[in-house]
Amino acid sequence: MPAGLQGRYDLLVSRRGPTSFLNHLPVFAAPRAEVLCIYPSEEVRTKVLQQLENAGAEVLGEWTFRTRGHLPTLNDLVLYQRWNGDERSAEQLQDLWDPRASDQGYPIIEERYMFHARMP
């Protein structure tokens, strides 16, 4: 078990995809522990399901939802777009930023996917 983490937990939350702890659920999860997995893309769904299955978890529910947010600076927009596979230059993204950005930044809506599972 990694330094700093001791014991087994009744609630585990994995966000942003298949994190390494999902590969070690039986180590971290107490019997009948609840597991919530919140992940960023449909592509990650199969990986998360496989990891839950490998751990013997029972999937109790699955949801998709949208969340609103703002990217505060143009640089945040560039990094966000890079993360999502967009290869446009910062100058090209400036053209995207200028007409839509407000005092809060650039508005975004992201889809999130969620599983609720229970360990055996």
Neighbours of 3 (CB within 10 A): 5
The phi and psi torsions of 65 (rounded to 5 degrees) equal -145, 165
What is the mean pLDDT of the segment spanning 97-117?
A: 94
Cα distance between residue 65 and residue 74, in whole Å: 26
pTM of the complete model beyond 0.75? no
What is the mean pLDDT of the segment spanning 54-75?
A: 95
Query: Is residue 62 a contact partner of residue 49, using CB atoms and an 8 Å limit?
Result: no
pLDDT at 60 over 90: yes
Over residues 5-33, the pLDDT tens digits come to 566 889 888 876 555 678 888 888 999 99
Cα distance between residue 117 and residue 90, in whole Å: 41
Residue 66's contacts (CB-CB under 8 Å, 6 or more residues apart) are 109, 110, 111, 112
| Amino acid 1: pLDDT | 45
pLDDT above 90 covers a percentage of the chain that reads 58
pLDDT at 115 over 60: yes
Between vectors from CA 69 to CA 95 and to CA 98, what angle results, nearest 5°?
Answer: 15
Cα distance between residue 22 and residue 43, in whole Å: 16
